[in-house]
Amino acid sequence: MRLYSMPSSGNSYKVRLLLALTGRDCEIVDVEDASEALIAAKTAGALPFGKAPVLHLDDGRVLPESNAILCWLGEQTAFWPADPFDRATMMSWMFWEQNQHEGVIAVRGALNFYPSRASLATPERMEDLLIRGHALLSVMERRLQEADWLAGDAATLADIALYAYTHTAGSRGGFEMDRFAAVNAWLARIAALPGYVGLDD
């Protein structure tokens, strides 16, 4: 398999993390933001939606979108719940991650992190994202005050999906993570999983 991966992106990182946690071999092709490699990958048609991550399978099939890739790689692993309700709950958190969490937590981090986006980081926008982000982190906090994991009684793909941008919410996004003790404990549990690799590993 070959993974086209943007090294600094949480969406790409979540796939690399699952690969590491499950011991799967995969060639990694770095296509960093604004790099020649990214332009070349787009020109070659390697990125169907124009962005990473994209997984190219050995048989020639191509799968874009981070959470779709997680589902394909994660099925029949320990991160795929056997119980149908737990599995549906996992999916609900993964949908929420993409349509709520990422558009706030990841966006504020990106506006801080990438120089090319600094002009978009107006004080009004950053304040709005900060308020909305703290509300989203509170949703996770409430769940994680009641349970160690987001879905069921063990780590699932939902935890991997939401870890990717949550673990840099403070360092990149400037969110006040000391307000979220249960989230921080959850972050530590994921970092302690066998095979774990960090964003920059």
- Encode pLDDT of 155-169 as tens digits: 999 999 999 999 999
pLDDT of residue 34: 81
Is residue 125's pLDDT more than 90? Answer: yes
Fold classification of 2-74 is Glutaredoxin (3.40.30)
CATH 1.20.1050.10: which residues of the chain?
84-191
Q: Contact, 168 vs 99, CB < 8 A?
A: no
Region 76-105 average pLDDT: 97
> 84-191: which CATH architecture?
Up-down Bundle (1.20)
- Rounded CA-CA distance 191/199 in Å is 11
pLDDT of residue 33: 85
Q: Which two tokens stand for residue 141?
A: 């906090």
- Residue % of the chain over a pLDDT of 90: 98
